[in-house]
Amino acid sequence: MDYLVAVLLPQLLHGFVFGAALGLLALGLTVIFGLLGVMNFAHGELYMLGAYAGIVVIGVTQSFWVALVVAPILVGVLGALTEATMLRPLYRREPLYGLILTFGLALVLREGARQVWGGDMRRIPAPFTGSTPLLGMTYPDYRIFLLAISCALLLAIWLFFTRTRAGVLVRAAVQDAEMLDGLGVDVRRLFTLTFAGSAALAALAGLLLAPVFTVYPQMGVEMILLAFIVVILGGMGSLGGSVVAAFVIGIAQSLFSLWMNPQRVAIAIFGIMIVVLIVRPRGFFGREGVLE
């Protein structure tokens, strides 16, 4: 019982916080995948740019909260431009071109950020620094806030997709874009806006996590692999699946590192994924036949 309260519960909490963060990152990735069939390798760099944009906005306005609104918009605009100029010409081609193009884009953005802001690590101070006694330890308030806002965002996104016309349209486009086009919906604009939204979400995740995870040009490339795993586990294109998978990965990583050395933790995480892919290739909630 003591073990449960003193060790397992805190570990679960750590896992939840990390899982929520991962969920925000993976959600944008899975929407883009479902809609455009592009596995966006540059998603991690959009996440990174969100944090740097945040630093710039905070530098001008001195406010974390303003940055939380403005930085995702800036990155969202960049996302829209990227989609319109680079990805749109590729939709008629095989998905692998999108994969490779975004890989190149990731190189450019990462190195560009390093040229502009330098390779040194930056830190964004958390907007509040207190801590709360929780489960026998002093738990930082910002992490509690992070968990709360991530869950709120995930809920809001779910409501958006189920309760708003725009959300329903996006989901319809995931199902069958041509049909939607035939029904007179401007699918091109829908694609651009969705990509912008996905980029903004990545940027938001980058900025929200910056006070905990710090900011540097390679921060995205290190997260993207985990985000890929989450998307695959959850079932490509499945929103709910991604969220569930994010929590599974976050908690698994947290619990495993209690009992295993880092090597085994990493292999265990990859192992989970390989097993899922073999036993249930479409992931937890993926629809049958999507790009299998």
Closest distance of CB 9 from another protein, Å: 10
The residue within the footprint of another protein, chosen from 129, 162, 164, 175 (CB under 8 A), is 129
Q: Which is nearer to another protein, 90 or 169 (CB)?
A: 90
> Contact 252/11 with Cβ under 8 angstroms?
no
**Is residue 143 within the footprint of another protein (CB under 8 A)?**
yes
Look up residue 59 and give its two tokens: 């530098």
Piece of the chain touching another protein by CB under 8 A; list 62-70, 88-96, 151-159, 173-181: 88-96
Q: Is 277 in the site for another protein (CB under 8 A)?
A: yes
Q: Is 139 in the site for another protein (CB under 8 A)?
A: yes
Does 106 bind another protein (CB under 8 A)? Our answer is: yes
- Owner of token pair 């709910």: 240
Is the alpha carbon torsion for 192, 197, 198, 199 positive or negative? positive
The sign one gets for the Cα dihedral 25, 30, 36, 41 is: positive
Cα-only R_g, the chain: 19
Q: Give the Cα separation of 281 and 210 in Å (integer).
A: 34
Binds another protein (CB under 8 A): choice among 5, 6, 155, 183:
6
What is the pattern of x (binds another protein, CB under 8 A) and - over residues 145-184?
A: ----------------------------------------
Among 99, 149, 151, 172, binds another protein (CB under 8 A): 99
- Closest distance between another protein and the C-beta of residue 183, in Å? 27
- Position 43 contacts another protein (CB under 8 A): no
Total residues contacting another protein by CB under 8 A comes to 80
One of 5, 112, 168, 189 touching another protein (CB under 8 A): 112
CA-closest candidate to residue 103, choices 45, 48, 51, 47: 45
Q: How far apart are CA 193 and CA 87, in angstroms?
A: 13
Q: Does 127 bind another protein (CB under 8 A)?
A: no
**Positive/negative CA dihedral, 124, 130, 132, 133:** positive
Q: For residue 288, state whether it binds another protein (rule: CB under 8 A).
A: no
The pairs formed by 268-272 with CB atoms below 8 angstroms and a separation of 24 or more are 269/229, 270/229, 272/233, 272/248
DSSP 146: H
Closest among 3, 54, 28 to 213, alpha carbons compared: 54
Q: What is the chain's length?
A: 292
Report the site for another protein in 182-241 (rule: CB under 8 A): 211-214, 216, 218, 221-223, 225, 228-229, 232, 236
The yes or no reply on residue 257 touching another protein (CB under 8 A) is yes
Q: Pick from 5, 60, 77, 108 the residue near another protein by CB under 8 A.
A: 108
Which residue's entry shows tokens 């409501």? 159
The one among 120, 165, 184, 288 contacting another protein by CB under 8 A: 120
